Amino acid sequence: MDAEEPWMRGLHADTGYLLYRLGLRSGQLFNTFLQESGLRLRHYAVLRYLAGAEGALQRELSTRLGYDPSAIVGLVDDLERLGMTERRPSPDDRRSKIVVLTEDGRAFLRGTDEAGRRVTNDLLAPLDTAERETLQALLLRVVDRP
């Protein structure tokens, strides 16, 4: 860090700012990787969540992913248009629709697994394996806190 830039020293001491910068960098790398598909990281997050669920209400997606409910509607619309998700009547409440991953959505995710690992490896290149595991564990503790 340049000694002539004391304002930068202050920012680099701010964990929230560093997490913000890491999130921006991660999003940029991932969006670059997804660019050819026409999807963004937010779409990918919906698909990844649905891959581990047997379907989800849109409000559940909003809560679990931390996205505004109106953003979820647009994301699901995009994914449905691409044939990666579909809305089905909820077995618990016929007035509600659940969003499910289609086979095309599953195929897309299978095709992105290796590229996703490459993005993560690029992002975390300065860290060794133990440091990456520690970072992952610490982030999970912070993110999963009620």
Residue 2 is predicted with a pLDDT of 47
**Secondary structure E strands in the chain:** 56-57, 85-89, 97-101
Q: Which residues, other chains included, contact 38 with Cβ-Cβ below 8 Å and sequence gap of 6+? A: 82
pLDDT at 75: 96
Total-model pTM: 0.79
Largest Cα span, the chain: 64
- Pull the structure tokens for residue 86: 């579909």
Is the CB of residue 122 less than 8 Å from the CB of residue 29? yes
**pLDDT mean by block of 10 residues, the chain; 146 residues:** 58 82 89 86 93 90 92 95 94 87 94 85 94 92 80
- Domains along the sequence of the chain with CATH: 8-123 (1.10.10.10)
Residue 145: per-residue pLDDT:
75
